[in-house]
Amino acid sequence: MEIYGKNRHKAIIGAVLILAASIAFVSVFLFTDGFDLINPSVRFDAPENGNTEFTAAADINLKPFSWQDGRNTYQGYDVELLYELADKMNMNVRLKLLDRKTALSALSDGSIDVMAGYETALSNEDEEHIFTIPSCELDYVVYGREKADSIADLYNTRVASLVGLDGYGLSQELIMVSSYRDMFEGIRDGRYDYGICPKESAKAMLKQYGISGLRPGCEVMRSNYCLILKKGSEDLKSRLDIALKTLYKEGELDRLDGKWISHYERSTIRGILRDHPVLFGMFLFSVCFALFCAYLHFDEKRRFDHNEALTERLWDNLEVTDKENLRLGSRYWSLKKALEGEKASNSGKRRFLSELSEKLRIPVNNAVRFTELAKKNLDDPDVALDYLEQLQRLTGGLSRLVNQLLEAARIESGELKLESRPMELYSVLDDIDAVISDDADKKDLRLMIRSGDIDDSNVLCDRLRLNQAIFNIAFNAVRFTPPGGEVRITLNQLPADRKGYGRYEFRIRDNGLGMSPEFVERIFEPFEHGTYIDEKGREAEGNGLGLFISKGITEAMGGSITVDSTPQKGTEFAVILELRLSNGQPDAGDGQARKKKENEPAFEGKKVLLAAKDEESISESTKIFSELGVACTAKEGGEAALKELMLSSSSPYDFVFTDMKLSDMEGYELVSQIRKLLNPKLSTIPVIALTSDTMEDDRKRIFESGMNGQLSKPLDKKRLAMALIYYTKRG
């Protein structure tokens, strides 16, 4: 046991190897013909003993009794038996291989003297034929697609046979056939249910004919295997009987039986036990040795488990203070790790707030300064107007900055929410073109927007968010490309990995300033920005939030965004999204080619009803609508706007824009009354909210109240144009 304990792994491996080798060794005998893999052959050629000879015939194709091999040499039990008999009788034999019917006919007309391989069960001696003493005995068994365990299984079935089955009462079921091949093929093809065949030749014939799936069953009778002669050949029969007796006494008949007939039984377990007892002894020894090694292994494991249990009990008996110290130590490291994570999080928040205050401080200070300068120059209207225009541009930019900061905060906190609605992807290209084409024209840029072959353009997606992600990248491409440059925006469909989804790629490429590898590594971090030359030739810088927002939106949609840039050669962004395909129709107006600029009559004929809270709001909003070519009717208060809408039933408005804080009601109440109108043309009109509240909860409440969309104030002309395109003819 001690020796085993030191080498137990080697012993187990050795036992497994010995067992595997034994199983493989036995498998050779189970699934092949044993060591004697080469088929046996006739021991010697036909003898030459003077001029005396006889003519004999055997079955032309009946293994293992007689057949012709690939070298045209006669092989089999009957062939070697006839050669042995001729040698004992000191005669020559002229051998032919014929089918059974032809051989019997030749025997009758005297063409041959002897026919080998005849079972006496085929018939009894008659007036034409005589039989020699038998050379061996054959056992007849039942073969079928299903195993017949007894003779009773043959009743009321179709049984094929070359022999009669007297005494079994199967005359109605028995079908006589001319050859065993016809029998086996008939069973395989379903013409017969069972067949009667000598088991000594069945295996060889099935293998030779390539027939599988037939199973041997019960044994039905035993037959003598002998030679048959024509009546009147008693002298030759007598000599053959004497020769057969001599071969029997010399053991030659047993040798031939073992060589030819038993050869095909060697792959059975009984044959292996009979012919190779040493092999099975080795196999049994290997199994016993493997079981012994397994016992030693599990005994060792039992001892190990016992020691382990003792150790566990000793551990349980340790002093409580030691266990408490370990617990407190583990708790200490957990708290320390959590504290470090919190410090890192707070550091990121402080940095974000620091950058936020810096971004807001400068435009707010400038707004205060421009306001003071305008007030000081009221006596000079031109100068005051210039300061007010600068203040207007500054407040518009400040509004966009606040919106971007709020969007970045939602992404940073993981609170960004998406709305999946049917849309057509072509519309994204149209929307982007409508918004940035003016800026591209001002810088004399060549703007090319193309799409490849899109098989599935209707998808479920948050269109506004997708537009925002692509617009931020496209706007940067226009901003950072010098005059005379080129900006390409393309959309292609890629092979999708999931059924019911489409995989799409937006590429935005420019030949502008490009970026250094160091800057590319942090390009998607908040407040990372570069410098560019604006339309007036002045150096300016971005706010560093656009790409951060684009990346956040893309990843929230389950996509990815990559960038490839070379300084002074340009930059290329790739946005890849996998979007669920839409079976419904996209929103009306999607996918239409709107290759128009904002100051062209893209909205000619459109009418808008504005519900404003005061005159100042009316003045501010109607000016922007008029710049877009939209006819705007403004009413102060919700009641006045509702009356105007009801009076327009013959020529209804296309949109209703409303401030959320009206003088006589809230925008939520106004949209509620509009949706209750009986005229479907008026009750389904698109209503867009104008609000300075851009928190997620407010946005959610706006859509739940029945409004179609929301825009932030003060109104931005580009965003208003994009919204008019998006909400055109939407319900």
pLDDT digits (tens, 9 = 90+) for 654-698: 899 999 889 899 999 999 999 998 888 888 899 999 987 656 667
The more confidently predicted of residues 578 and 331 is 578
Partnered with residue 230 across adjacent β-strands are 129
- pLDDT value of position 279: 67
Mean pLDDT of 519-540: 67
Q: How far is the first Cα of the chain from the last one, in angstroms, to the nearest whole number?
A: 88
Q: In the structure encoding, which two tokens stand for residue 257, read together?
A: 């039986």
What pLDDT is recorded for position 144? 93
SS3 of 86-136: the string is HHHCCCEEEEEEECHHHHHHHHHHCCCCEEEEEEHHHCCCCCCEEECCCCE
- Joined tokens for residue 467: 């537009």
Task: Tell me what pLDDT residue 534 has.
Answer: 54
**pLDDT computed for residue 347 by the predictor:** 59
User: pLDDT tens for residues 239-265?
Assistant: 999 999 999 999 999 888 888 877 655
SS3 67: strand
Percent of the chain whose pLDDT exceeds 90: 20
Q: Are 632 and 724 in contact (CB under 8 A)?
A: no
Nearest by Cα to 81 from 234, 226, 288:
226
DSSP assignment of 404-426: HHHHHHHHHHT------EEEETH
> Is pLDDT larger for residue 233 or for residue 381?
233
- Return the pLDDT at 599: 40
pLDDT at site 367: 74
Task: Using alpha carbons, list the distances in angstroms from residue 51 to 45, 85, 230, 233, 234.
Answer: 17, 16, 22, 19, 20
Model confidence band, residue 598 (pLDDT cutoffs 50, 70, 90) = very low
| HSE-CB for 399 with a 13 A CA cutoff | 18
Look at 178-192, 283-297, 313-327 and tell me which has the smallest mean pLDDT.
313-327
Give the pLDDT score at 59.
84
CA 511 to CA 566: how far, in whole Å? 9
Q: What is the mean pLDDT of the chain?
A: 79
CA distance 341 to 243: 104
The dihedrals phi and psi of 580, each to the nearest 5 degrees, come to: -70, 135
On whether the pTM is more than 0.75, the answer is: no
DSSP letters spanning 431-498: HHHHHHHHHHHHTT-EEEEEE---S--EEEE-HHHHHHHHHHHHHHHHHTS-TT-EEEEEEEEE--SS
Instruction: Give bridge partners of residue 133 from the DSSP assignment.
Output: none
Distance CA 28, CA 272 (A): 11
In angstroms, the CA 691 to CA 710 distance is 7
- pLDDT tens for residues 198-216? 887 788 788 878 888 899 9
* pLDDT average, residue stretch 536-560: 77
> Taking CA 256 as the corner, what is the angle to CA 178 and CA 129, rounded to the nearest 5 degrees?
45
Task: Point out the least confidently predicted range of 2-6, 399-403, 467-471, 545-549.
Answer: 2-6
pLDDT on residue 510: 93
Beta strands 74-75 and 67-68, pairing class: antiparallel
- Half-sphere exposure of residue 520: CA atoms within 13 angstroms, side-chain side: 16
Q: Can you give the pLDDT at residue 293?
A: 75
**Distant-in-sequence, close-in-space partners of 202: CB < 8 Å, separation ≥ 6:** 141, 143, 180, 216
Mean pLDDT of 47-66: 81
Q: Does position 572 have pLDDT exceeding 80, yes or no?
A: yes
Strand partners, 92: 53
Residue 38 confidence (pLDDT):
47
Q: Is the pLDDT of residue 527 over 50?
A: yes
Is the Cβ–Cβ distance between 144 and 195 less than 8 Å? Answer: yes
Q: Three-class SS of residue 540?
A: strand
| CA pair distance 147, 195, nearest whole angstrom | 11
* Rounded distance between C-alpha atoms, residue 694 and residue 283, angstroms: 83
